[in-house]
Amino acid sequence: MSVSTHVLDSVSGRPAAGVAVRLFAGEELAGEGVTDADGRCRPAEGVTAPGAHRLVFATGPWFAGQGRDTFYPEVVLTFDVREPTEHHHVPLLLAPFAYSTYRGS
């Protein structure tokens, strides 16, 4: 399974570069990374077991680095892997007081 994400700052309409991202398979850290200039990150490549996985975004430090407050110092997105050989793309649309996500392609 490979996992990718794309973080967009929905207030500015720009990619959110420099957001630290960690991926957990159950309680085990499966990968980590930082979003690039286009807001993209691939914290894990390879095959893993089916089950619950979590992407944890360090949004508090990212907002603080921009001199902005946020209600969400961390965003945790939990998703279920049913086909371990498939690619999973999980984007995050981010604002200081709201966020949304969806299953991407």
Dig out the tokens for 20 from the structure: 């630290």
| Closest C-alpha among 78, 87, 90, 86 to residue 39 | 90
Domains of the chain, first to last: 2-101 (2.60.40.180)
**DSSP string spanning 39-82?**
SEEEEE-S---SEEEEEEE-HHHHHHHTT---S-S-EEEEEEES
HSE toward the beta carbon, residue 89, CA cutoff 13 A: 6
pTM: 0.95
pLDDT digits (tens, 9 = 90+) for 38-55: 999 999 877 678 999 999
Query: Which is it for strands 2-9 and 14-15: parallel, antiparallel or unpaired?
Result: antiparallel
Q: Residue 49's pLDDT is what? A: 80
